[in-house]
Amino acid sequence: MEIKNKRVVVTGAASGIGKALCEAFQKTEVQSIVCVDVNLDGAKETADSVGGIAVQANVGQEPDIISVIEQANSLSGGIDIFCSNAGIGGVPGFFEVETGDWQNIWEVNVQSHIFAAKHVLPQMLERGEGYLMSTASAAGLLTQIGSAGYSVTKAAAVSFAEWIKITYGSKGIGVSCLCPQAVRTAMTAQGAGVAGVDGMMEPEDVANDVLDAIEKNRFLVTPHAEVLEYVSRKGNDRDRWISGMQRLQERYEDWVPGEE
């Protein structure tokens, strides 16, 4: 999809990858940018810097997503590109994770993508064109040492993006799924642990890779090139891959996991 003059929505826009996405879109001369975040002050700061508008929303709540889409439609008459980028690391571990913690991370890391697709796809299908970009993680393709909730929800996010691409990709809907390892954001400020094994990437570089994927209708966005090799190994010999991950687990047993 050609990005210039398109109407864009980005969630998780207050900082990190979301903010970098807004800045990258602005440089490509999009028609409008709606900057969404639960942190309204942060969303406003991003919006002011890119000439967009700020909308406060908890993306894990369906009424909030509906409101975001309604406000974006009111601003520009529709949405061409919806970047469902917001996500959380959640409570690490397994036995420490309460039922409410599971519900929270599921809503933000999975349901947010489902709600966005459910309510923005109808207008895109009617026009015969639109693009959905969702941020998952390399953890969604592999796993996250030390964090069951993060691993499970990011894997579900990847699976949902694949389903949307399979179901609607032939109907003019582009789909990309972002799966980075460690990215330099507030969530990795204290270190990225095992996620940083292949180095820390800047949000701006990740954002540029996303825009390239949108222009080329490329599904999987893996800014860390090593991820594709790991996925290949996993697919070729799952038992051997699991054995390797068990050894990695032993090396990082005392590490408290963060997020990309």
Name the CA radius of gyration of the chain, rounded. 18
How far is Cα 183 from Cα 195, in angstroms, rounded to an integer?
A: 9
Cα→Cα distances 126→80, 99, 120, 157, 210, Å: 12, 39, 11, 25, 25
The answer to whether the predicted template modeling score (pTM) of the entire model surpasses 0.75 is yes
| Structural domain total, the chain | 1
Structural domain includes residue 260: no
pLDDT computed for residue 193 by the predictor: 57
Q: How confident is the model at residue 200 (pLDDT cuts 50, 70, 90)?
A: confident
pLDDT computed for residue 184 by the predictor: 76
Judged against a pLDDT cut of 70, whether residue 195 lies above it is answered with no
**Number of Cβ within a 10 Å radius of residue 118:** 14
Structural domain includes residue 25: yes
Structural domain includes residue 73: yes
Structural domain includes residue 47: yes
Please count the helices (runs of H) and the strands (runs of E) in the chain: 10, 7
pLDDT computed for residue 260 by the predictor: 40
* Residue 110: domain span: 7-251
The crossing angle, in degrees rounded to 10, of helices 99-106 and 148-168 is 30
pLDDT tens-digit series, residues 83-100: 999 999 999 999 999 999
pLDDT computed for residue 235 by the predictor: 96
Can you state the percent helix, strand and coil of the chain, rounding each to 5? 55, 15, 30
Return the structure tokens found at 228.
């594709």
Structural domain includes residue 120: yes
Structural domain includes residue 259: no
Strand-pairing partners, residue 10, are 35, 83
Structural domain includes residue 42: yes
Residue 19: which CATH number? 3.40.50.720
pLDDT tens-digit series, residues 42-84: 999 999 999 999 999 999 999 999 999 999 999 999 999 999 9
Mean pLDDT of the chain: 93
Mean pLDDT, residues 164-190 taken together: 87
Which burial class, exposed, middle or buried, applies to 255 when counting CB atoms under 10 A from its CB (0-12, 13-18, 19+)? middle
How far is Cα 166 from Cα 160, in angstroms, rounded to an integer?
A: 10
Structural domain includes residue 258: no
Residue type, 154: K
Phi, psi dihedrals of residue 19, rounded to the nearest 5°: -65, -45
Strands 81-84 vs 32-37: parallel, antiparallel or unpaired: unpaired
Query: Which candidate, 74, 63, 35, 69, places its Cα nearest to that of 51?
Result: 35
Q: What percent of the chain has pLDDT over 90?
A: 86
The one-character DSSP state at 222 is -
Query: Which candidate, 258, 248, 247, places its Cα nearest to that of 192?
Result: 258
